[in-house]
Amino acid sequence: MRTELRIIATATAVPEIHASGGLSARRTGAHAVHLIGTAATPLGGDELDITIVVGPHARLTVRSVAATIALPSAATPLSVAHWRFEVADGAELDFDPEPTIVAGGAHHHTITSVALAPDAKLRLRERIQIGRSGEDHGGWRGDLIADIGSTPLLRHRLELGAGTSTDDRLTAPRALSSELRYPDDRPAETVGLTETRLPLAAGGTLLTRTSALLVAVD
Protein backbone atom coordinates (compact mmCIF):
# COMPACT_ATOMS: atom_id res chain seq x y z
CA MET A 1 0.00 0.00 0.00
CA ARG A 2 1.14 3.52 -0.74
CA THR A 3 0.29 6.23 1.78
CA GLU A 4 0.51 9.95 1.06
CA LEU A 5 -0.02 12.67 3.63
CA ARG A 6 0.53 16.41 3.22
CA ILE A 7 0.05 18.94 6.01
CA ILE A 8 0.35 22.66 5.27
CA ALA A 9 0.33 25.25 8.05
CA THR A 10 -0.01 28.97 7.41
CA ALA A 11 -0.05 31.96 9.71
CA THR A 12 -3.60 32.93 8.77
CA ALA A 13 -5.58 29.67 8.76
CA VAL A 14 -5.89 26.28 10.46
CA PRO A 15 -3.61 23.54 9.07
CA GLU A 16 -4.61 22.06 5.72
CA ILE A 17 -4.54 18.25 5.47
CA HIS A 18 -4.52 15.99 2.40
CA ALA A 19 -4.33 12.23 3.00
CA SER A 20 -4.67 8.90 1.22
CA GLY A 21 -3.75 5.39 2.27
CA GLY A 22 -3.08 4.24 5.83
CA LEU A 23 -2.23 7.52 7.58
CA SER A 24 -4.17 10.71 8.11
CA ALA A 25 -4.23 13.63 10.54
CA ARG A 26 -6.77 15.58 12.55
CA ARG A 27 -6.66 19.18 13.63
CA THR A 28 -6.53 19.28 17.43
CA GLY A 29 -5.90 22.99 17.87
CA ALA A 30 -5.44 26.19 15.93
CA HIS A 31 -1.79 25.29 15.39
CA ALA A 32 -1.78 21.55 16.19
CA VAL A 33 -2.47 18.24 14.46
CA HIS A 34 -2.37 14.60 15.56
CA LEU A 35 -1.37 11.82 13.16
CA ILE A 36 -3.94 9.01 13.00
CA GLY A 37 -3.64 5.54 11.48
CA THR A 38 -6.53 4.63 9.19
CA ALA A 39 -5.22 1.17 8.23
CA ALA A 40 -2.49 -1.23 9.30
CA THR A 41 0.70 0.39 7.99
CA PRO A 42 3.58 0.08 7.49
CA LEU A 43 3.50 -3.56 6.41
CA GLY A 44 6.30 -5.10 4.37
CA GLY A 45 6.14 -3.59 0.89
CA ASP A 46 4.37 -0.41 2.03
CA GLU A 47 5.71 3.03 1.16
CA LEU A 48 4.77 6.16 3.11
CA ASP A 49 5.31 9.65 1.71
CA ILE A 50 4.65 12.40 4.26
CA THR A 51 5.28 16.11 3.73
CA ILE A 52 4.83 18.78 6.38
CA VAL A 53 5.12 22.42 5.32
CA VAL A 54 5.11 25.31 7.80
CA GLY A 55 4.73 28.60 5.96
CA PRO A 56 6.23 31.98 6.84
CA HIS A 57 5.61 32.98 10.49
CA ALA A 58 3.31 29.99 11.08
CA ARG A 59 3.47 27.59 14.04
CA LEU A 60 2.70 23.89 14.02
CA THR A 61 2.78 21.18 16.68
CA VAL A 62 2.57 17.58 15.46
CA ARG A 63 1.80 14.63 17.71
CA SER A 64 0.26 11.17 17.16
CA VAL A 65 -2.55 9.33 18.89
CA ALA A 66 -0.67 6.02 19.15
CA ALA A 67 2.58 4.26 18.43
CA THR A 68 3.34 3.06 14.90
CA ILE A 69 4.00 -0.69 14.44
CA ALA A 70 6.02 -1.83 11.43
CA LEU A 71 5.12 -5.42 10.50
CA PRO A 72 6.51 -7.86 7.91
CA SER A 73 4.34 -9.17 5.11
CA ALA A 74 4.34 -12.56 3.43
CA ALA A 75 6.16 -11.05 0.46
CA THR A 76 8.85 -8.88 2.11
CA PRO A 77 9.94 -7.61 5.53
CA LEU A 78 10.87 -4.12 4.25
CA SER A 79 8.76 -0.98 4.50
CA VAL A 80 9.92 2.56 3.69
CA ALA A 81 8.81 5.96 5.00
CA HIS A 82 9.84 9.26 3.42
CA TRP A 83 9.37 12.28 5.70
CA ARG A 84 9.85 15.76 4.27
CA PHE A 85 9.77 18.89 6.43
CA GLU A 86 9.85 22.47 5.15
CA VAL A 87 9.97 25.30 7.72
CA ALA A 88 9.92 28.81 6.27
CA ASP A 89 11.03 32.27 7.46
CA GLY A 90 9.97 32.97 11.03
CA ALA A 91 8.09 29.64 11.24
CA GLU A 92 8.20 27.07 14.05
CA LEU A 93 7.67 23.28 13.99
CA ASP A 94 7.50 20.97 17.02
CA PHE A 95 7.33 17.35 15.82
CA ASP A 96 7.16 14.64 18.49
CA PRO A 97 5.02 11.59 17.62
CA GLU A 98 4.70 8.39 19.61
CA PRO A 99 7.43 5.77 18.98
CA THR A 100 7.75 3.45 16.02
CA ILE A 101 7.86 -0.22 17.06
CA VAL A 102 9.56 -2.54 14.56
CA ALA A 103 8.08 -5.99 15.10
CA GLY A 104 10.09 -9.21 14.90
CA GLY A 105 10.96 -10.08 11.32
CA ALA A 106 10.20 -6.59 10.00
CA HIS A 107 12.70 -4.08 8.58
CA HIS A 108 11.75 -0.42 8.38
CA HIS A 109 13.70 2.32 6.60
CA THR A 110 13.05 5.97 7.41
CA ILE A 111 14.39 8.78 5.19
CA THR A 112 13.90 12.23 6.69
CA SER A 113 14.64 15.44 4.76
CA VAL A 114 14.50 18.84 6.47
CA ALA A 115 14.65 22.22 4.73
CA LEU A 116 14.91 25.19 7.12
CA ALA A 117 14.98 28.92 6.60
CA PRO A 118 17.79 30.59 8.58
CA ASP A 119 15.37 32.09 11.12
CA ALA A 120 13.10 29.05 11.41
CA LYS A 121 12.70 27.07 14.64
CA LEU A 122 12.59 23.28 14.80
CA ARG A 123 12.28 20.48 17.33
CA LEU A 124 12.23 17.11 15.57
CA ARG A 125 12.08 13.99 17.74
CA GLU A 126 12.13 10.35 16.64
CA ARG A 127 11.85 7.28 18.86
CA ILE A 128 12.42 3.70 17.71
CA GLN A 129 11.95 0.40 19.54
CA ILE A 130 13.08 -2.89 18.00
CA GLY A 131 10.64 -5.65 18.86
CA ARG A 132 7.47 -6.00 20.84
CA SER A 133 7.51 -7.94 24.10
CA GLY A 134 9.71 -11.02 23.66
CA GLU A 135 11.02 -9.92 20.23
CA ASP A 136 14.43 -8.55 19.30
CA HIS A 137 14.95 -9.52 15.65
CA GLY A 138 13.45 -6.58 13.79
CA GLY A 139 15.67 -4.06 11.99
CA TRP A 140 15.59 -0.30 11.35
CA ARG A 141 17.65 2.24 9.43
CA GLY A 142 17.19 5.98 9.63
CA ASP A 143 18.69 8.62 7.31
CA LEU A 144 18.43 12.27 8.37
CA ILE A 145 19.34 15.05 5.94
CA ALA A 146 18.88 18.66 7.06
CA ASP A 147 19.77 21.95 5.36
CA ILE A 148 19.50 25.63 6.25
CA GLY A 149 18.80 27.25 2.92
CA SER A 150 21.65 26.01 0.72
CA THR A 151 23.91 25.26 3.72
CA PRO A 152 24.15 21.65 4.89
CA LEU A 153 23.19 21.26 8.56
CA LEU A 154 23.31 17.49 9.06
CA ARG A 155 23.91 14.20 7.25
CA HIS A 156 23.25 11.35 9.64
CA ARG A 157 22.51 7.61 9.48
CA LEU A 158 21.78 5.15 12.28
CA GLU A 159 20.91 1.45 12.27
CA LEU A 160 19.40 -0.75 14.95
CA GLY A 161 18.63 -4.42 15.26
CA ALA A 162 18.89 -7.49 13.10
CA GLY A 163 20.95 -7.34 9.93
CA THR A 164 22.90 -4.21 10.89
CA SER A 165 26.70 -4.09 10.85
CA THR A 166 26.95 -3.68 14.63
CA ASP A 167 24.22 -6.11 15.65
CA ASP A 168 24.82 -8.08 18.82
CA ARG A 169 21.74 -9.55 20.48
CA LEU A 170 23.49 -9.64 23.85
CA THR A 171 24.71 -6.05 24.16
CA ALA A 172 23.61 -3.93 21.19
CA PRO A 173 20.85 -1.39 21.91
CA ARG A 174 17.33 -2.03 20.70
CA ALA A 175 15.90 1.45 21.32
CA LEU A 176 16.74 4.94 20.09
CA SER A 177 15.60 8.46 20.92
CA SER A 178 16.89 11.18 18.61
CA GLU A 179 16.16 14.91 18.74
CA LEU A 180 17.25 17.61 16.31
CA ARG A 181 16.88 21.19 17.55
CA TYR A 182 17.48 24.39 15.64
CA PRO A 183 18.52 26.91 16.79
CA ASP A 184 20.23 25.61 19.92
CA ASP A 185 23.50 26.85 21.39
CA ARG A 186 23.91 24.30 24.20
CA PRO A 187 27.40 22.77 24.37
CA ALA A 188 28.34 19.16 23.74
CA GLU A 189 27.38 16.75 26.49
CA THR A 190 27.88 13.02 26.98
CA VAL A 191 26.10 10.92 29.59
CA GLY A 192 27.81 7.54 30.03
CA LEU A 193 27.99 5.48 26.86
CA THR A 194 24.35 5.88 25.87
CA GLU A 195 23.55 9.59 25.44
CA THR A 196 25.30 12.32 23.49
CA ARG A 197 24.31 15.85 22.49
CA LEU A 198 26.43 17.28 19.69
CA PRO A 199 26.44 20.92 18.54
CA LEU A 200 26.24 21.28 14.76
CA ALA A 201 28.58 23.55 12.83
CA ALA A 202 25.77 25.50 11.16
CA GLY A 203 23.79 25.82 14.41
CA GLY A 204 21.50 23.59 16.41
CA THR A 205 22.14 20.30 18.19
CA LEU A 206 21.53 16.61 17.72
CA LEU A 207 20.75 14.50 20.80
CA THR A 208 21.08 10.71 20.49
CA ARG A 209 20.11 8.30 23.28
CA THR A 210 20.28 4.50 22.96
CA SER A 211 19.08 1.79 25.34
CA ALA A 212 17.56 -1.67 25.52
CA LEU A 213 14.07 -0.23 25.97
CA LEU A 214 12.57 3.20 25.49
CA VAL A 215 11.97 5.05 28.73
CA ALA A 216 9.78 8.06 29.45
CA VAL A 217 12.10 11.08 29.34
CA ASP A 218 11.02 14.69 28.94
Each residue of 58-68: pLDDT tens digit?
999 999 999 99
Which three-class secondary structure state does DSSP give residue 10? coil
Q: What pLDDT shows up at residue 170? A: 67
Q: How far is residue 151 from each of residues 25, 26, 155, measured CA to CA in Å? A: 31, 33, 12
pLDDT at residue number 178: 96
Q: Which amino acid is at 45?
A: G
Using the predicted structure, report yes or no on whether residue 93 has a pLDDT greater than 90.
yes
The confidence score (pLDDT) of residue 27 equals 97
- Tell me the mean pLDDT in the region 71-95: 97
The stretch 198-209 carries a mean pLDDT of 96
Tell me how crowded residue 194 is: count the other CB atoms within 10 A of its CB: 13
Mean pLDDT value across residues 114-127: 98
**pLDDT for the residue 135:** 81
Segment 13-30 mean pLDDT: 96
More confident residue, 212 or 26: 26
Rounded Cα distance between 160 and 145, Å, is 18
User: What is the pLDDT, as a whole number, of residue 217?
Assistant: 60
**Whether pLDDT at 195 is above 80:** yes
pLDDT bracket for residue 7 (50, 70, 90): very high
Instruction: Please work out, in degrees rounded to the nearest 5, the angle formed at the alpha carbon of residue 182 by the alpha carbons of 159 and 13.
Output: 110
Integer-rounded Cα Rg, in Å, for the chain is 17
| d(C-alpha 168, C-alpha 159), whole Å | 12
Q: How many CB atoms lie within 10 A of CB 8?
A: 17
Phi, psi of 21 (to 5 degrees): 95, -145
pLDDT bracket for residue 218 (50, 70, 90): low
pLDDT at 36: 97
Instruction: Please compute the mean of the pLDDT values over residues 180-195 and round it to a whole number.
Output: 91
pTM above 0.85, yes or no: yes
Rounded to whole angstroms, how far apart are CA atoms 1 and 81?
Answer: 12
Average of per-residue pLDDT across 135-158: 94
pLDDT number for residue 136: 78
